[in-house]
Structures are given as C-alpha cells and as structure tokens.
C-alpha cells in the first residue's frame, strides 16, 4: 500500500479505521484512559441492519470499567424483555420447543454485570457518545484509502466527507474495517478456516410483530419446515429479517428469490398474510467461520471481523471483537504511557488468536449440532465458558499445545494466571466488585490479608502509583463461608498481579524472603520488559498522554451476595 507523500500528514497517536461496535469500543477504551485516538468510518450514521443483540457479562465488564454500562442497560430497560428462543411452526403458530438463552441465566456469582440484550445499533450509539465525551475524535463519512508503514509510524490516506484527500500519521493503526477488510487484504494476510459454511438469503420486512409475539419473551425463532427459516426482529418489534439457506449449485438467488418468492417465504415464517407486512429488500450472503493468519503486521493491528468471522450461533462475534479491543487497548495504553516495553504488543496475537480459533470452532460446532449433523469429537463448551471463561497463555506456561486456548466455566477459575480476576462483591459505602479495583489502565497488586511484604514491594517499585495500584484482601469475607483470598488462590500471604484488562498476569500463592525481587521480575515480564536485575521496572519513553492521579487502596472489604 502506498500513500501520496505530497499531501501533508496530520499527527495522532492511534488511528482507528472502522467505527462500528469494535472500532468505537477501541476508541472509548483508549480515550477513557488518556489516549485520544482518531477514528475514521466511511458511513455517516450507524447501520440500521439487524446485527448482534446479545452482549455477554465479560463484554459489559469492559464497558463498566469505562463508565458506559449503565447507559447500555438503560436502553435495555426501555424495551420489552426478550431473552428466550424457540422453534415454531411459524411465529404466530404453535411453539415446538422454547428455551432461555444461556446468556440470560443469573451470572451474579461470577460477574457484577448481567448480559445486555440490546441491538447493536443502540449499543454503538452509546459507545460512540461515551468515546466522544472522553475525547476521541470520530470522523464519520471519512473513507480510508491506503497506508504506508515505516519502522516508527504509519501514514494513512483518507477521503473526508466532502471527498477531499488528507493523510494521518500515527504511531499505531487499528484495523476494525470488517470481514472484507481492505487493510488485511492490502497487507496480504490470509485466512484459515471455512470461507463458506452455507449460503443464506436474508429477506427484510417491516411489520407490527407485537400481536404475533403476544407478550412472549422471544429474541429469535426458527421454523421447523419447510425452509427452516431463521427469524430475527428489532427490539422495537417493528421490522426484522427472515433468513433461509440455499444451494448455489442448483439455485440462482438473483432469479429464485423474486418478489413473489420473498413474500411467500416471509408469509410462511411469520404466519401472516402478505397484507400484514412489507418486504424491504433481500440480499444473499455466505456464512463463514475463519481466523486471519496474523493479527498484526508491524504497527498495524487487526481486530473484530477484520481478523475473525464466526457463524451467528452463540452470539459470539461482536463480543469477541470487543474483547479484542479490550485486550489490545490495555496493552497500548501501558506502552504509550511509557510503563511497558513495546514488546508487550507481541502478546496480542497469541492471546487473541487462540481465543479467536476457539470461538470460531465452538460456533461451528453449534451450527452442526443445530443442523442435526454429526459433531466431531470435540467438547461443546458452554456459552459462558466461550465468552468469558477463556485462559490466556502467560509467560512461563508450557501447555501441551501453545496455540490452543483453555476455557472453563468462569466460576471455576481460582486466580490462575491468564484467567480473569475473580469477581467478589465489595462491602462499604460504594460497594462494587473486585474488578472495580482495576482502574485507569493501571495494573493492580492484590495481596492477601498478611501480604504486607508484597504491598511494600509494590510501593517500592512504583512509589507514585504511576502504573501500579495496591489493595489488600481481608482475612475473612463479611458473610458466607468462602474466604476472599482462597477464591483468588493466594491465601493470606500470597498476591496477584492483575492487568488493566482484568487478566491475572502473575500469582504468588504464599510469602517469599525477597518479595521485591520476585515482584520486580513478575512486573517486568507483565510489562514486556527484559529481566536485568532488581529495582524498579524502567519506564520506556513514549509520546505524552493525559494521565489521571495515581491512588492506592489499603484494605478491601468483601461480602458475598
């Protein structure tokens, strides 16, 4: 990719290409921690297409950390509840089977955040508003054209909303430009997996579905015959889509799905006469399940659909992309503040690549299971395990297969490095969760009740609290039999080092004669720095960024729900 060097380039720290939910989330996660990115998005407004409408607890935890979660839940609370799915003869006909979506199950024991059932367009509006309020510059109607990459920066050429070209020079570029990513293609990055799992014709319609749903808490439905159509509708229940598969070897979608056929398909799926709905259009698309061969090329990082595409089964796609952004931006903030070595960014691809492969595999298994096909000898994990129970490989881990992500039910993890910090409710005036102790893009040293040597070592490494906050757990939870330190796997004398994305980077299960040396080595590893003796991890000079004051917490009061 080449850029016209005759056009002067403006300067920014991070340029994000793509402003849908993943790109907008990346902008929010950066801006809320003092990095003010520039985002360019070719569309002027949020897409009205029906896309994701389920966001899992771990996704909502990320939004909670930057103060956006309550506005998302406020959107949900204005809507009729929709947390079940069903197999039906038609939407107005008898139900053959109904089940509660796994994401709707009570997750209060493992997360401070329930799942959110909102349409992606509404979520994007909330996220964009928070990103702007935090200082991100969102340029809608601006189209990325090409880029040039150098050792210490990238330059992108962009067309503004009036069609005028300009260039942006950035330290890093985040490509969130969708499954047809021009950036991925331009970099020559291939894909592995199933390019086409099935061919689908999606037919849009408008209709008042309130009477058809009759108060049922349905979010989606499938018909049993003859097309096995998938029916999805907006949270306002005034428009939706009917999707059916076809075989391109025997069906030409451009001729087979004419206006009459589309009305017929929708009429059968809804159980309504054509006079009760209006067809708004149709489009063929192919369902895929693949992961890009690389998540990074120099200073360019791919995330979201640009780097992995999953079938819609399980509702994992948008959530996985948002977690890409949560992981990567945590690393970028540490690097750009000068706390971490740029080598830390090398961990993005192995961590998120392993999760991407796991997620695509699980979505494909669900698709085979739903179709009644034989499922290979691989475990079908729960939605909670796929969306929130994965474990990253940490420095020093030697798994049987380094490329395979390990996942389990989130409540079964007990502070193992690579897993998310266990959620434990906080007592006191503010309440909250242990996850809330991870703030402002800083790391957290969380020690047991007798872990004062670890706390002193942490304050010695970072006296001003520039990159490391400190907290001690009490000896006993205020209610219930479980001990907080045991739930974190550290006892009274151990400690955890927690990353800005809530992931445990290191754990000591007990005391050590030289806490300073041990913690210094652990911190260096967590920050991507080479080990070279004791003392405080050196700060890496980077561009100036906005900071909020440091802080330390001396005691955490915990209670059980």
pLDDT by residue, tens only, the chain of 561 residues: 556 656 788 999 999 999 999 999 999 999 999 999 999 999 998 887 778 889 999 999 999 999 999 999 999 999 888 889 999 999 999 999 999 988 888 899 999 999 999 989 999 999 999 999 999 999 999 999 999 999 999 999 999 999 999 999 999 999 999 999 999 999 999 999 988 888 999 999 999 999 999 999 999 999 997 788 999 998 788 999 999 999 999 999 989 999 999 999 999 999 999 999 999 999 998 889 999 999 999 999 999 999 999 988 888 999 999 999 999 999 999 999 999 999 999 999 999 999 999 999 999 998 875 544 444 556 889 999 999 999 998 876 655 455 555 899 999 999 999 999 999 988 765 678 999 999 999 999 999 999 999 999 999 999 999 999 999 987 754 444 457 788 899 999 999 999 999 999 999 999 999 999 999 999 999 999 854 444 455 555 444 344 443 333 334 444 433
**Is residue 538 located within the same domain as residue 439?**
yes
Residue count of the chain: 561
Distance between start and end Cα atoms, the chain: 55
Q: How far is CA 541 from the centre of its chain?
A: 29
The structural domain count of the chain equals 3
In a domain, 69, yes or no: yes
Please give the structure tokens belonging to residue 70: 């309550």
Q: Rounded CA gap, 30 and 27, in Å?
A: 5
Task: Determine how β-strand 218-223 pairs with β-strand 143-149.
Answer: unpaired
- The DSSP symbol for 501 reads T
Full domain range(s) for residue 561: 413-561
Q: Rounded CA gap, 535 and 252, in Å?
A: 69
Please give the structure tokens belonging to residue 379: 């475990």
Question: Which residue in this structure is represented by tokens 């917490």?
Answer: 553
**Is residue 249 located within the same domain as residue 118?**
no
pTM of the full predicted structure? 0.90
Given 271, 288, 305, the domain boundary residue is: 288
Q: How far is CA 240 from CA 50, 78, 84, in A?
A: 7, 19, 17
Q: Rounded CA gap, 137 and 104, in Å?
A: 35
**Is residue 449 located within the same domain as residue 317?**
no
CATH number at residue 164: 3.50.50.60
In a domain, 397, yes or no: no
Following DSSP, what letter does each residue of 85-130 receive, concatenated?
A: EEEESSTTS-EEEEEE-GGGS--TTT-S---B---HHHHHHHHHHH
226 upstream amide cis, omega within 30 of 0? yes
In a domain, 365, yes or no: no
**Is residue 447 located within the same domain as residue 553?**
yes
Q: Rounded CA gap, 241 and 201, in Å?
A: 10
Kind and range of the H or E element at 547?
none
**Is residue 348 located within the same domain as residue 273?**
no
**Is residue 495 located within the same domain as residue 554?**
yes
In a domain, 529, yes or no: yes
Buried b vs exposed e over 323-358: b needs ≥16 C-beta within 10 Å?
bbbbbbbbbbbbbbbbbbbbebbebbbebbbbbbbb
């Amino acid at each position: 990719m080449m850029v016209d060097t005759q056009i002067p380039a403006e300067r920014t720290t991070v340029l994000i290409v793509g402003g849908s939910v993943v790109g907008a989330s990346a902008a929010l996660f950066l801006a809320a921690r003092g990095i003010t990115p520039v985002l360019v998005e070719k569309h002027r407004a949020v897409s009205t297409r029906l896309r994701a409408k389920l966001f899992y607890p771990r996704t909502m935890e990320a939004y909670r950390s930057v103060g956006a979660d309550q506005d998302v839940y406020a959107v949900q609370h204005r809507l009729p509840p929709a947390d079940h799915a069903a197999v039906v003869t038609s939407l107005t006909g008898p139900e053959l089977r109904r089940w509660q979506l796994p994401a709707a199950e009570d997750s209060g024991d493992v997360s401070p955040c329930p799942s959110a059932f909102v349409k992606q367009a509404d979520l994007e509006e909330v996220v964009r508003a928070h990103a702007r309020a935090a200082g991100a510059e969102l340029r809608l109607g601006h189209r990325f054209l090409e880029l040039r990459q150098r050792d210490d920066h990238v330059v992108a050429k962009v067309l503004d909303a009036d069609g005028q070209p300009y260039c942006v020079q950035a330290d890093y570029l985040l490509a969130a430009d969708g499954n047809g990513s021009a950036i991925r293609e331009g970099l020559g990055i291939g894909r592995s997996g199933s390019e086409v799992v099935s061919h689908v014709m999606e037919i849009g319609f408008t209709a008042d579905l309130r009477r058809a749903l009759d108060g049922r808490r349905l979010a989606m439905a499938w018909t049993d015959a003859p097309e096995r159509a998938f029916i999805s509708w907006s949270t306002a229940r005034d428009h939706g889509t009917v999707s059916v598969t076809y075989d391109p070897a025997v069906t030409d979608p451009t001729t087979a799905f004419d206006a009459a056929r589309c009305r017929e398909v929708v009429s059968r799926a809804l159980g309504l006469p054509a006079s009760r709905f209006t067809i708004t259009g149709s489009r063929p698309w192919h369902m895929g399940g693949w992961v890009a061969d690389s998540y990074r090329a120099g200073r360019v990082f791919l995330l979201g659909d640009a780097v992995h595409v999953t079938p819609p089964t399980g509702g994992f796609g948008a959530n996985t992309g948002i977690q890409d952004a949560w992981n990567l931006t945590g690393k970028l903030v540490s690097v750009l503040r000068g706390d971490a070595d740029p080598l830390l960014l090398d961990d993005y691809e192995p961590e998120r690549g392993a999760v991407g492969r796991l997620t695509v595999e699980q979505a494909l298994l669900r698709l085979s299971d739903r179709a009644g096909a034989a499922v290979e000898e691989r475990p079908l994990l729960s939605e909670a395990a796929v969306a929130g129970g994965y474990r990253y490989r940490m420095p020093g881990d030697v798994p049987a297969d380094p490329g395979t992500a390990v996942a389990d039910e989130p409540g079964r993890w007990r502070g193992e490095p690579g897993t998310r910090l266990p959620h434990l409710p906080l007592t006191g005036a503010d309440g909250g969760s242990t996850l809330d102790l991870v703030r402002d893009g800083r790391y957290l040293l969380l020690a047991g009740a007798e872990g004062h040597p670890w706390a002193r070592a942490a304050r010695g490494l970072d006296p001003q609290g520039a990159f490391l906050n400190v907290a001690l757990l009490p000896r006993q939870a205020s209610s219930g039999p479980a001990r907080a330190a045991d739930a974190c796997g550290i006892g009274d004398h151990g400690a955890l080092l927690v990353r800005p994305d809530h992931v445990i980077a290191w754990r000591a299960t007990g005391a050590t004669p030289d806490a300073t040396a041990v913690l210094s080595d652990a911190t260096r590893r967590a920050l991507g720095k080479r080990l070279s003796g004791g003392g405080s991890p050196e700060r890496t000079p980077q561009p100036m960024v906005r900071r909020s004051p440091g802080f330390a917490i001396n005691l955490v009061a915990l209670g059980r729900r």
